[in-house]
A = this chain, B = another copy of it.
């Protein structure tokens, strides 16, 4: 997204692009498991071995897919953020747009978590290949926060983006298991939990709770796991 490519794409780059495109289309049509590397290779017009030359394993293709989903989320959320000034409204915009964007992929979104939880997987936020998306996700929450009318103490503001991103991952995990029609339970969860989160953030500024707040912030700060960047 933020890349500028002055060079024309080399042959290899174009082949790689074809493979990604084929994979994304097949993932959308059949889901991840049902899409075989052989299918991807054939659809891209390359041999199986050649596909593996570009993508060490199938998960890395999935990472490309998640990048696309993430970018669709940003594209969906930005304009909505333009219309909201309250913290509550802005968080709601980010989360609801997320649900809208991922909705078509419910059947295989579990994979995101399968991989996100696995330290070896390129999709987990502590793996180089997955770290970008996680950081950009945090950036979106940083925006939501920065543009809001709610004043947040500095020390808290520094930690909130990653906390909110973690919270949003929790929502997605709930959504994955949500079998209610139209995933209405998840939508209810978003509406109601966003309210609580927004209240909590305001509550956290209350002087009475200051010692407690400090402890939480210090905990989060001290124990953040190193990212591979």
Contacts and interface: CB of A to CB of B under 8 A. Distances in A.
Interface of A: 110-111, 113-120, 124, 126, 173-174, 176-179, 185, 188-189, 192-193, 195-196, 199, 203, 208, 212, 215-216, 219, 222-223, 225-226
**In the assembly, how many copies of this chain are there?**
2
B119 A225 contact: no
A185 B225 contact: yes
A95 to B, nearest CB: 15
Contact of A117 (B173, B195, B219): B173
Contacts of A192: 215, 219, 222-223
B126 A120 contact: no
A223 B189 contact: yes
A145 to B, nearest CB: 21
A199 B212 contact: yes
A43 to B, nearest CB: 26
Contact of A196 (B118, B126, B215, B222): B215
Given A110-B117, A203-B212, A216-B196, A178 B225 contact: yes
A178 B124 CA distance: 13
Contacts of A120: 110
A176 B117 contact: yes
Contacts of A179: 225-226
A222 B188 CA distance: 9
Contact of A219 (B177, B193, B225): B193
B114 A177 contact: no
Contacts of A173: 117
Nearest to A224: B185
18 contacts: A110-B117, A110-B118, A113-B114, A114-B117, A114-B118, A117-B117, A119-B176, A124-B177, A126-B177, A177-B225, A179-B225, A179-B226, A185-B223, A188-B222, A188-B223, A192-B219, A192-B223, A208-B208
Nearest to A223: B189
A176 to B, nearest CB: 6
Q: Which 6 A-B pairs have the closest CB atoms?
A: A113-B117, A114-B114, A110-B118, A192-B219, A189-B223, A114-B118
